[in-house]
Amino acid sequence: MPLVSTTMYKKINLLGIVCLCWLSFAQAQNENSPYSRYGLGDYVPQQNILNRGMGGVSAAYYDFNTINFINPASYGRLQATTLDLGVELDNRTLRANNPPRKYSNYSPNISYVQLGFPLKKGGGWGMNLGLRPLSRVNYQIGQAERLNLGVPGDTFDISTIYQGDGGSYEAYLGTGVAITRDLTVGVNFGYLFGNKDYSTKKAILDTLAYYYKSNHQTTTSYGGVLLNAGVQYTARLDKKHWLRFGAYGNLKQTLNAKKDYVAETFEYNSNTGAADTIDVAYRETAVKGDIIYPSMFGAGILFDRLGKWQIGVDYVQQKWSQYSYYGAKDSVQDAWQLKIGAQLTPSGGKNYWNFVSYRAGFQFGQDYIKVDQDLPTWTFSIGAGFPMRKPAYTNQFSVINTVFEVGRRGDNKNLVRESFWRIGIGLSLSDIWFQKYKYD
């Protein structure tokens, strides 16, 4: 069998192994963040693994085989069909001040899967389709309290469990086109969908009489169209130095939602551990309403020493003050981030490490959730892009992108603060198995 076909089969087998790993990751999640109770939950990193290695700088970034889904104008630069997969491992530690407590967990997650390809030979028009998570809801918090009925010695204990899960996702199809040699524009046509499942379970303890446990639960599913547009412009200072500009954003969107609410008594099944309903006090089903998703704007500038190094700055703002759930506001506020990052590719010579791209970056800002007061955030990142093979040998441009991030959410002034580290791996596969051969 020819070498080309053998190589193809090896890559398909590799892709199958990656998909199996993803299934294992999805089943192993055990993240627990009380802040995911608010808004649409905890927002996951929005950029691909490459740009996250540069501190999230992405507004003005593009190259011929990288799928930068944050700014769809970059699709106009695609010259190779590329399958891009991203996975990550998130470790998070929560610390509370009163009383002093500490909790740590890890969560393996799928970052994105997307396929980008040029629609015009030589570039100038490209398309991308993909699926990625936007936010996660996952928390379980226990609270114990003693209530006094007003009579000395007549007290009882109440145990309360607050629990939530869910999240939001975006499926998108985007296109970008070059208006001139230096100007590209693009748009992502996305569908945002997700669900939120919140419950409060109470149990009365240490009483002479026995009471059933109570459960108040609200389950909401939602979905709607999300349009994101972008523009990029390159000012060529000379043959080797370029100055790139980029901007992207979306307008406020209305998502259609349905929610179910139930107030019931229950008992845990002694055999299965599941909650068995005893009696339903009140129920509502399929109540229609709206969720207002906020507008967002990002802009950046990137100085490029062609083929050697890049350094850039981005600023992003999201107007979460516009957010509402069935007409009600939540503990959210406008959020912003400032991102600074760089990439260095030595190039030249025969040493493999000269073809590796080295990246570093830093970002800081204000989180969109505000419970007691502002939540300041910061993240430091380093990363690298490892070519699977030197381009000089073949027309292969596949790269393994990696990133390591460490950061914090909140400080000593907040009731709960989070510190975290993340390891991400992205497989950018634009290889010979996407090419058409005349001989096999």
Core vs surface per residue 256-282: b (16+ CB within 10 A) or e: ebebeebebebeeeeeeeebeeeeeee
Q: pLDDT class for 431, splitting at 50, 70, 90?
A: low
Q: pLDDT class for 285, splitting at 50, 70, 90?
A: very high
DSSP β-bridge partners for residue 178? 184
Core vs surface per residue 109-121: b (16+ CB within 10 A) or e: bbbbbbbbbbeee
- How many other C-beta atoms can be found within 10 angstroms of the C-beta atom of residue 347? 12
Tokens 């970052």 correspond to what residue?
111
Question: By three-state DSSP, how is residue 41 classified?
Answer: coil
Q: Are the CB atoms for 47 and 403 separated by under 8 Å?
A: no
Read off the pTM: 0.86
- pLDDT tens digits, 65-100: 889 999 999 999 998 899 999 999 999 998 887 777
pLDDT value for 17:
38
- How many other C-beta atoms can be found within 10 angstroms of the C-beta atom of residue 11? 18
- How many other C-beta atoms can be found within 10 angstroms of the C-beta atom of residue 439? 5
Extract the tokens encoding 408.
């914090």
Q: Choose which CATH entry (3.30.450, 1.20.950, 2.40.160, 3.40.50) describes domain 3-434.
A: 2.40.160
Q: Are the CB atoms for 380 and 340 separated by under 8 Å?
A: no
pLDDT value for 27:
40
pLDDT value for 274:
84
Q: How far apart are CA 235 and CA 212, in angstroms?
A: 70
Question: By three-state DSSP, how is residue 65 classified?
Answer: coil
**Interval 340-364 mean pLDDT:** 91
As a whole-number percent, the residues of the chain with pLDDT over 70 amount to 87
- pLDDT tens digits, 220-231: 999 999 999 999
Which among 169, 343, 341 has a CA at the least distance from the CA of 255?
Answer: 169
Q: pLDDT class for 15, splitting at 50, 70, 90?
A: very low
Q: Are the CB atoms for 213 and 266 separated by under 8 Å?
A: yes
The distance from CA 240 to its chain's CA centroid, rounded to whole angstroms, is 34
**Interval 173-193 mean pLDDT:** 96
Q: How far apart are CA 410 and CA 416, in angstroms?
A: 7
Query: From residue 411, how far is each of 89, 340, 414 by CA, in Å?
Result: 23, 22, 6
* 82, 83, 84, 86: CA torsion to nearest 10: -160
pLDDT of residue 25 exceeding 50, the answer is no
Which among 350, 231, 355, 351 has a CA at the least distance from the CA of 297?
Answer: 231
Q: How far apart are CA 440 and CA 436, in angstroms?
A: 10
Q: How far apart are CA 129 and CA 50, in angstroms?
A: 18
